[in-house]
Amino acid sequence: MTDLTPSKMAMVPFVSVHDMMRIVNADGVAQTIAAIADRIEADFLRWEDFDKTPRVAAHSDEGVIELMPTSDGERYGFKYVNGHPANMGRGFQTVTAFGVLARVDNGYPILLSEMTVLTALRTAAASVVAARHLAPKDATVMAMIGNGAQCEFQALAFHHVLGIEEVRLYDIDPDATAKAARNLASTGLRVTSCATAEEAIAGAQIITTCTADKKQATILTDNMVGAGVHLNAIGGDCPGKTELHRDILLRSDIFVEFPPQTRVEGEIQQLDADHPVTELWRVIAGKDAGRTSDSQITLFDSVGFATEDFSALCHIHDAALRTGFHVDLDMLADPDDPRDLFGMVNRASGA
């Protein structure tokens, strides 16, 4: 009888949501974010090794579905991700994702993974990488505006990696703030729930905006942002979807992941196409300055870039093999004679 057991080479490790949670809880949420942050930073340092392209976006009235590919010449990775701001009200996640990592030399996938949880981890990791280079060194208080799915990951990352002691929460929906306060209660962070965005930013040296609305919103107006603050703007990540008043951008030094993508998707879509911005990798590599004065307003105009997902996938690949928290998927056809694909199908009919 034909042996239909797939060979080991053709099996692809799959990290389900369940396995992702097992990996993250075994290693620690904060520790996982810190490890991904180190990977992101190391990969930013070899920026020129990567193929880079703006993500491919399919827009609809309700949201966007995007593909985010990149390769460093040895490995190829991509993420499928959606952004549907109205989803939350319908009982669905605003953002869901999965991704693949593959070998470049033979094109075989080496990992298929859920990336909804992983995106929250990597977005928090990217935020602290930027803040490490841009935020005031003595920052202890962060305002967190938008207390949805990403919120606690961001707060925990800033606490663990940057030493933020207090997070001041605000959301238009008090239930979201209550949820985040509950989840952050035993993290060591001092958590203050606020009734307005103005109250949340009082005394904060870092302001993270992480709201979801498919429009040009004004989560922060110009008068709300004082000198010396670091803005970590997460939620404006699509054409026609921004969070900051344009005047804030004109007073800020702006740092971005990949300009061709951010110019279309980020807060800077509100500015002229030649408005000066600094690529974050150049700051990390010491080629350009980050924060240069106490009074400077720094803005990380985050939209999420493919290399960050690549870094996160590489981390999870290693962690899945180390912990054993994955299942092997029979995902690749593997006939004994590579040319005899038809014969393999034929033989299976009589098995």
Task: List residues near ligand NAD by CB under 6 A.
Answer: 83, 88, 94-95, 119, 123, 145-150, 171-173, 176, 210-213, 217, 219, 234-235, 237, 302-304
Q: Which two tokens stand for residue 153?
A: 């990951």
State how far the Cα of 309 lies from the Cα of 311, in Å rounded to an integer.
5
Smallest distance from ligand NAD to CB 109, Å: 24
In the complex with ligand NAD, which residue's Cβ is closer, 13 or 63? 63
Residue with nearest beta carbon to ligand NAD = 148
In the complex with ligand NAD, which residue's Cβ is closer, 8 or 90? 90
Smallest distance from ligand NAD to CB 78, Å: 15
CA distances from 6 to 3, 12, 99, 154 (A): 8, 11, 22, 41
Smallest distance from ligand NAD to CB 67, Å: 15
In the complex with ligand NAD, which residue's Cβ is closer, 112 or 194? 194
State how far the Cα of 274 lies from the Cα of 336, in Å rounded to an integer.
56
In the complex with ligand NAD, which residue's Cβ is closer, 13 or 266? 266
Smallest distance from ligand NAD to CB 66, Å: 10
Catalytic residue among 19, 237, 301, 309: 237
In the complex with ligand NAD, which residue's Cβ is closer, 19 or 257? 257
DSSP 132: H
Beta sheet of 252-256, edge-to-edge order: 190-193, 166-170, 141-145, 206-209, 230-233, 297-301, 252-256, 278-279
Smallest distance from ligand NAD to CB 65, Å: 12
In the complex with ligand NAD, which residue's Cβ is closer, 19 or 265? 265
Q: Which residues contact 248 (CB under 8 A, 6 or more apart)?
A: 220, 221, 222, 225, 231, 297, 299
SS (H, E, C) 85-107: HHHHHHCCCCCCEEEEEEECCCC
Q: Which residues contact 97 (CB under 8 A, 6 or more apart)?
A: 79, 80, 81, 82, 114, 115, 116, 118, 119
Q: Which of 239, 247, 197, 195 lies closest to 222 in space, CA to CA?
A: 247
H/E element, 214: none
Residue 237 annotated in active site: yes
Q: Which of 85, 293, 298 lies closest to 207 in space, CA to CA?
A: 298
State how far the Cα of 166 lies from the Cα of 156, in Å rounded to an integer.
11
Smallest distance from ligand NAD to CB 345, Å: 41
What are the residue numbers of the active site? Answer: 237
